[in-house]
């Protein structure tokens, strides 16, 4: 009887462990990024209004900030992630000002649900490179549209800042090559 009881307890523990591992992995798994969100959305959109341009831009800034926040949480306050995370907040502030100027509703920041945490610093730097490449392409596209001059100026400024971010992440990635 003790052997059967012990066997049942072990089986139950193994089952619960497996169940929890699967359940936790589903909880921590991130939602797939929608095709119409942030830079990916802007780059595939063929007709972009002022509201959409600002929405795509702020969504992508939210994504970048959430990405760098997760990296900092996992690996600590390392450069250039801490500096660039602060820069992303300045980008968001610049965009928020345009939302206010043009009386456009500010989209909710739900970017965290689309972010996965890289498993290594090499992956973190690569995520930074990839994100900034998309960000730059988006800002180049948005700056080329027929938008109010103040919006175009902000898009150009944010695109230029992203060039600096890209260079910093590329330098970080080189140490893992």
Query: DSSP per residue over 37-53, as a string?
Result: SHHHHHHH-SS--HHHH
Q: Tell whether the model's pLDDT for residue 157 goes beyond 90.
A: yes
pLDDT interval class at 176 (50, 70, 90): confident
Which one, of 107, 100, 105, lies nearest residue 150 by Cα?
100
- Helical ranges in 30-176 per DSSP H: 38-44, 50-75, 81-101, 121-143, 149-174
**Tens digits of per-residue pLDDT, 80-132?**
999 999 999 999 999 999 999 999 999 999 999 999 999 999 999 999 999 99
Which one, of 109, 112, 119, lies nearest residue 31 by Cα?
112
Q: Tell whether the model's pLDDT for residue 13 goes beyond 60.
A: no
The chain-wide mean pLDDT, for the chain, equals 88
In sequence order, what are the residues at sequence separation of 6 or more whose Cβ sits closer than 8 angstroms to the Cβ of residue 44? 35, 36
CA–CA distance, 70 with 30 (Å, rounded to integer): 12
CA–CA distance, 9 with 106 (Å, rounded to integer): 53
Is 0.85 surpassed by the pTM of this model? no
Angstrom CA distances, 158 to 9, 40, 68, 73, 103, stand at 59, 17, 17, 25, 21
Residues 155, 142 contacting (CB under 8 angstroms): yes
């Amino acid at each position: 009887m003790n052997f059967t009881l012990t066997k049942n307890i072990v089986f139950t523990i193994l089952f619960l462990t497996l169940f929890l591992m699967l359940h936790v992995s589903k909880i921590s798994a991130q939602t797939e990024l929608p095709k119409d969100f942030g830079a990916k959305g802007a780059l595939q959109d063929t007709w972009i209004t002022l509201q959409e341009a600002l929405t795509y831009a702020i969504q992508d800034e939210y994504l970048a900030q959430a990405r760098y926040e997760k990296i900092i949480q996992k690996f600590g306050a390392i450069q250039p992630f801490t500096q660039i995370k602060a820069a992303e907040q300045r980008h968001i502030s610049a965009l928020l000002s345009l939302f206010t100027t043009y009386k456009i509703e500010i989209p909710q920041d739900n970017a965290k649900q689309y972010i996965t945490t890289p498993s290594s610093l090499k992956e973190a730097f690569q995520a930074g490179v990839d994100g900034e490449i998309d960000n730059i392409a988006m800002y180049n596209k948005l700056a080329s549209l027929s938008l109010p001059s103040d919006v175009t100026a902000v898009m150009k400024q944010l695109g230029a800042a992203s060039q600096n971010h890209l260079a910093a992440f590329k330098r970080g990635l080189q140490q893992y090559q």
